[in-house]
Chain A
Amino acid sequence: MRDFTIQLLQMTLVLALAPLLTGLVRKVKARFQRRLGPPLIQPYRDLRRLIGKDVVMAEQASWLFRVAPYAIFGCIWVAAALVPTFATGLMFSWSGDLIVIAGLLGTARFIQALAGMDIGTSFGGIGASREVMIASLAEPAMIMIIFSVALIAGSTQLSVVADHMLTAHVGLRVSLALALVALLIVALAENARIPADNPATHLELTMVHEAMVLEYSGRHLAMIELGAAVKLLLYMSMIACIFFPLGLAGGLSGARVSVAALLLGAATYAVKLVIGGALLGTFEMSIAKMRVFRLPNFVGGALMLSLLGVLLLFVSRGM
């Protein structure tokens, strides 16, 4: 029962916090530009406004276009529910491991790219084509990062990995450092952040994610925006729980966690999110957007780094 409560709590928490994180990043960026910026809760207002509006849909849109926003949102939300936020030992964590999380995000992206091409405009095509190009490098990089982590923790199960990182004396490892750098790059690319993409632009030929969702409006757009926000939170939680598990409630699996530990976990999680959001905003303000054909070097670098980490782990075993 308690496990179930924690699971349910985390799922709602993810959904409730995601727009706030997006708002925080925007606020940080605005402050760097010496603007006051929109209030932190602006993303919630945007969502409410979008949900209240009628959908204007292109005449040639098919059923896929209408189903896609909910399917994308469902995939991302379920993937996010598998990532421990403030406590490990999620009730349904055994229903999927890290590779499954990557797979669910892959399904979401697949549907999104198809939805972008459904109307038959050149903007949809440009977005989808660039998205799959970036993903073709980011996804294997993600799998290699998972391999690094799994080889160290002896499991691809995220809860077990977090527990291992929390309790065992992992120490400083070259492979983990490589995996962290690679994961940061992948997270930037996958979440359409600068330098891979610009989440604030709407009328630029350099855009990727926004070009795919250009034809969406009303409640459909709201679902896609919310999905994107949850995805950002998911990556931040994943980085936090693998590389900075400090304070995460749980510890040894099977043991009962006290309420105090849960509260501590929640508090540290909040701190981690604030730090992560601030760092992301700062990073985005300090770097320029890359040309699309420079991106393969950037994301391909992540692939090479993570592959190097895995090779190191394989070579250093049994010597």
Chain B
Amino acid sequence: MIDLVAAAIAGFCVLAVAGGLLGRAAAGHFLVYGGCLLLCLGTLGAGLAAMMAPPTTLLLPLGIPWIGVHLRLDALSGFFLFLVGLGSAGASLFAIGYAAHDEQPQRVLPFYPLFLAGMHLVLLADDAFAFQFAWELMSLASWALVLAQHRDPANAQAGFVYLVMAVFSGLAMLLSFALMAGGQGSFAFDAMRASHPAPILAAVAFGLALVGAGSKAGLVPLHVWLPLAHPAAPSHVSALMSGVMTKVALYGFIRVVFDLLGGVPWWAATIVLVLGGVTAVVGVLQAMLERDLKRLLAYSTVENIGIVFVGLGLAMAFRANGFVAGAALAFTAALFHALNHTLFKSLLFFGAGAVLTVTGTRDIDQLGGLIKRMPVTSAAVLAGCLAISALPPMNGFASEWLTFQAVLLRPELPQWGLKLAIPADGALLALAAALAAACFVRMFGIAFLGRPRSIEAAIAHEVDRWSLGAMVGFGTLALLAGLFPGVVIDLLRPVSKAVLGASMPVQMGDPWMTTIPVEASRSSYNAALLALFVALSGGLAAVMVKRLGSRGLRRAPAWDCGFPDPSPMTQYTGGSFAQPVQRVYEGLGYQVREHVDMPPPGATRAARFSTTRSDLVWDWVYRPLGDWVGRIAGALNVLQFLTIRRYLGFVFVALIVLLLALALWQ
């Protein structure tokens, strides 16, 4: 199995070369994306098979001489392989149609397969060198993709911030591995599993892994690059970065914390819980206030990563207290949500890409009325919005429901930190879910409903069939995963068994296919049956009303309380829709100043209202940090213009100091 996946990764590299050579040819994009689609379907299947099978390993004579590259495919990497394969297959399918209009395909085609290769390789890596190499390959290839349209100054800025954060993340992971490798210096994961570092070292390794993987995934306050970089890339790459690459980062975190470190103390769980809850709320609030369609989606990714981290934190908390059954429930909920997020976030980015292709804008205040011009895209995006807002019967609700069940599972944990963090996280999750619903009512309502606010929106048309196929396919999968959550939970059983040694009970054995996380008297959920009931009662009502009452329907101008305004500019905009929420939650990660310029009575000039919003994370963390780095760099500037004599002197002094330090250490 693993050699097939390794072959697929080699295939990606071949496609990258082909993309470089054929970049400008008409058939180039068809070859690259079609090839990627086929390879991803293969890795998807391999991942599915690997979840059920025992771990397999492979040693490649590459990398560092005489050490080679260790690869391993177990249940955990199998699940993430399935997820990455699925998300990448969808993105490649979408790209076959979407990228046909690409103006500079040679800037995308060579790096896209490399990006896929990097993500796949991270999942297979079984030593720190391979992991680190793949991690950086993933970062650099995606960085090149972010800069595909590098002439836009905003994109150049995004690329810079992304590169800094990616380097930071790679460095943190590297140090974490170095600490786990210990004195023997063996970088194979097997050796790390076997060695048990001192608690203080393990704690530092945990912190570094949290920072390294968290900054790649978008954990607050390390999320700032996400809303800059994800939208800058072409839409199918945005979908990959948001829907898939963040999951690879989650995999890195799970691999280190759950597998290599083999269990962490309860305070670590508290940190993860707090960060996850804060991330969920801060992310969704920023999404609510955003006008740019793709930035909105990127912020919402931050929210969903927070939800997954809450699930992982719960699993860590239960595990630290020896309650593995609860840990299995929380862990399953987290992975389920990760899969769901891949489905609906990719779908929403495809939708944003379709809108961008047709109208040329990502500003929701320039859109409107697309539901009539782009019916299939709109229906698929609506399904995605329902799913991401955690509403039944879609898949987002199923995983949030499981997470809530995990929160309620064991209130009698002994540690005070957890006693406070777990219920607080329950509240933060509920708040995030409600705000996500608000955010996506706004996104869909402003961009797809109402009347068109620009000519481009008014003359929009449906996109090509490849793109539609990708959107409809992912929408259907999101619905199916929501209707039959038991299938996904059962699929995840071997993963949680392999990682935690326990798994949730079998779900599909129930005659009605009801999801029962613990026991029937505690909680149960049957999405398919409820969806059937809703459809039946709604349909019954429609039939009865039409039979008993009137069937007539007349079209007339909108009533609008008797004062219809012909201009679509009087509609609510993104800004006006968000204003109540913006006022209520001010201070949670952002600050808003509202300026009212009211002319005195009698003056004829227009009154003006404007708002300025500042991101507190940026203002309090990154700007001071940037200033500080700048000042130090300025102070060290004198070192740049010294004579060779002095440089040699420095080297000598440094050598002496290091030798002295070593002597004293011994």
Question: B-contacting residues of A (Cβ < 8 Å)?
Answer: 51-64, 70-71, 73-75, 77-78, 81, 92, 94-97, 99-100, 103-104, 106-107, 109-110, 113-114, 116-126, 128-130, 132-133, 135-140, 142-144, 147, 150-151, 154-157, 160, 203, 214-215, 217-219, 222-223, 253, 292-293, 296, 300, 303, 307, 310-311, 313-315, 317-318
Smallest beta-carbon distance B556→chain A, Å: 5
Residues A155 and B522 in contact, CB atoms below 8 Å apart: yes
Residues B549 and A106 in contact, CB atoms below 8 Å apart: no
Picked from B423, B520, B530, B571, the residue with its CB within 8 Å of the CB of A96 is: B530
- Knowing A64-B449, A95-B514, A219-B545 touch, does A143 contact B552 (C-beta < 8 A)? no
Assembled-state Cα–Cα distance A78/B392 (Å): 12
Chain A residues contacting B536 (CB-CB under 8 Å) are 74
Smallest beta-carbon distance A27→chain B, Å: 26
- Knowing A58-B555, A59-B556, A128-B577 touch, does A147 contact B549 (C-beta < 8 A)? no
- Knowing A96-B530, A147-B423, A314-B411 touch, does A160 contact B521 (C-beta < 8 A)? yes
Residues B526 and A110 in contact, CB atoms below 8 Å apart: no
Chain B residues contacting A222 (CB-CB under 8 Å) are 545, 549
1/0 per residue, CB under 8 A from A, across B378-397: the answer is 00001000100111100001
- Total contacts A-B at CB 8 Å: 300
- 5 sample A-B contacts, Cβ–Cβ < 8 Å, listed by A number: A57-B553, A78-B534, A110-B389, A117-B446, A137-B434
- Knowing A74-B538, A114-B444 touch, does A120 contact B571 (C-beta < 8 A)? yes
Assembled-state Cα–Cα distance A214/B548 (Å): 24
Q: Name the segment of B138-146, B302-310, B578-586 touching the other chain.
A: B578-586
Residues A103 and B391 in contact, CB atoms below 8 Å apart: yes
Residues A57 and B555 in contact, CB atoms below 8 Å apart: yes
Most A CB contacts (10 A, CB to CB) among B382, B414, B442, B521 go to B521
Assembled-state Cα–Cα distance A95/B565 (Å): 46
Residues B525 and A96 in contact, CB atoms below 8 Å apart: yes
Most A CB contacts (10 A, CB to CB) among B438, B442, B451, B555 go to B438
**Interface residue? B233 (CB, 8 A):** no
Chain B residues contacting A293 (CB-CB under 8 Å) are 580, 583
Residues A54 and B550 in contact, CB atoms below 8 Å apart: yes
Residues A135 and B437 in contact, CB atoms below 8 Å apart: yes
Chain A residues contacting B372 (CB-CB under 8 Å) are 60, 62
Q: Name the segment of B153-161, B401-409, B460-468, B488-496 touching the other chain.
A: B401-409
Assembled-state Cα–Cα distance A95/B386 (Å): 20
- Knowing A133-B438, A147-B423 touch, does A74 contact B535 (C-beta < 8 A)? yes
- Given contacts A94-B520, A317-B419, list 11 more A-B pairs with CB under 8 A: A53-B549, A55-B552, A56-B554, A62-B372, A78-B530, A95-B525, A120-B450, A215-B560, A310-B427, A313-B411, A314-B423
- Knowing A107-B392, A218-B550 touch, does A78 contact B571 (C-beta < 8 A)? no
Residues A77 and B537 in contact, CB atoms below 8 Å apart: yes
Residues B434 and A81 in contact, CB atoms below 8 Å apart: no
Chain A residues contacting B422 (CB-CB under 8 Å) are 314
Residues B529 and A136 in contact, CB atoms below 8 Å apart: no
Picked from A58, A114, A132, the residue with its CB within 8 Å of the CB of B558 is: A58
Question: A-contacting residues of B (Cβ < 8 Å)?
Answer: 368-369, 371-372, 375, 382, 386, 389-392, 397, 401, 404-405, 407-408, 411-414, 419-420, 422-424, 426-427, 430-431, 433-435, 437-438, 440-442, 444-446, 449-451, 512, 514, 520-526, 529-530, 533-539, 541-542, 545-546, 548-550, 552-561, 564-565, 568, 570-572, 576-581, 583-584
Smallest beta-carbon distance A300→chain B, Å: 8
Residues A51 and B545 in contact, CB atoms below 8 Å apart: yes
Assembled-state Cα–Cα distance A28/B512 (Å): 45
Chain B residues contacting A138 (CB-CB under 8 Å) are 434
- Knowing A99-B401, A223-B545 touch, does A94 contact B411 (C-beta < 8 A)? no
Name the residue on B nearest A163 (C-beta).
Answer: B521
Smallest beta-carbon distance B567→chain A, Å: 10
Chain A residues contacting B584 (CB-CB under 8 Å) are 133, 136-137, 296, 300
Assembled-state Cα–Cα distance A56/B389 (Å): 31
Residues B533 and A78 in contact, CB atoms below 8 Å apart: yes
Smallest beta-carbon distance A71→chain B, Å: 5
Picked from B389, B420, B445, B541, the residue with its CB within 8 Å of the CB of A117 is: B445
Smallest beta-carbon distance A187→chain B, Å: 16
Chain B residues contacting A217 (CB-CB under 8 Å) are 559
Assembled-state Cα–Cα distance A264/B275 (Å): 51
- Knowing A58-B559, A62-B449 touch, does A100 contact B554 (C-beta < 8 A)? no
Smallest beta-carbon distance A12→chain B, Å: 11
Chain A residues contacting B419 (CB-CB under 8 Å) are 314-315, 317
Picked from B375, B412, B523, the residue with its CB within 8 Å of the CB of A97 is: B523
Residues B414 and A122 in contact, CB atoms below 8 Å apart: no
Chain A residues contacting B397 (CB-CB under 8 Å) are 103
Assembled-state Cα–Cα distance A121/B571 (Å): 5
- Knowing A95-B524, A125-B571, A156-B523 touch, does A113 contact B445 (C-beta < 8 A)? yes
Residues B581 and A132 in contact, CB atoms below 8 Å apart: yes
Residues A129 and B526 in contact, CB atoms below 8 Å apart: no
Assembled-state Cα–Cα distance A147/B555 (Å): 47
- The 4 A-B pairs of least Cβ separation, nearest first, read A125-B572, A74-B538, A120-B450, A318-B412
- Knowing A59-B556, A107-B391, A156-B523 touch, does A132 contact B423 (C-beta < 8 A)? no
Assembled-state Cα–Cα distance A144/B422 (Å): 12
Residues B549 and A307 in contact, CB atoms below 8 Å apart: no
Name the residue on B nearest A107 (C-beta).
Answer: B391
- Knowing A60-B369, A126-B572 touch, does A219 contact B550 (C-beta < 8 A)? yes
Residues B560 and A214 in contact, CB atoms below 8 Å apart: yes
Smallest beta-carbon distance A49→chain B, Å: 10
Smallest beta-carbon distance B653→chain A, Å: 58
Chain A residues contacting B545 (CB-CB under 8 Å) are 51, 219, 222-223
Chain A residues contacting B571 (CB-CB under 8 Å) are 120-122, 125
Picked from A129, A137, A310, A311, the residue with its CB within 8 Å of the CB of B577 is: A129
Assembled-state Cα–Cα distance A310/B570 (Å): 44
Name the residue on B nearest A211 (C-beta).
Answer: B561
Residues A57 and B554 in contact, CB atoms below 8 Å apart: yes
Residues B534 and A135 in contact, CB atoms below 8 Å apart: no
Chain A residues contacting B537 (CB-CB under 8 Å) are 73-74, 77-78
Chain A residues contacting B441 (CB-CB under 8 Å) are 110, 113-114, 117, 128, 132
- Knowing A57-B554, A57-B555, A107-B386 touch, does A136 contact B581 (C-beta < 8 A)? yes
Assembled-state Cα–Cα distance A71/B535 (Å): 8
Smallest beta-carbon distance A253→chain B, Å: 8
Residues B435 and A104 in contact, CB atoms below 8 Å apart: no
Assembled-state Cα–Cα distance A287/B357 (Å): 53
Chain B residues contacting A78 (CB-CB under 8 Å) are 530, 533-534, 537
Chain A residues contacting B442 (CB-CB under 8 Å) are 129, 132
Assembled-state Cα–Cα distance A114/B430 (Å): 21
Residues A154 and B580 in contact, CB atoms below 8 Å apart: no
Name the residue on A nearest B578 (C-beta).
Answer: A129
Chain A residues contacting B427 (CB-CB under 8 Å) are 140, 143-144, 303, 307, 310
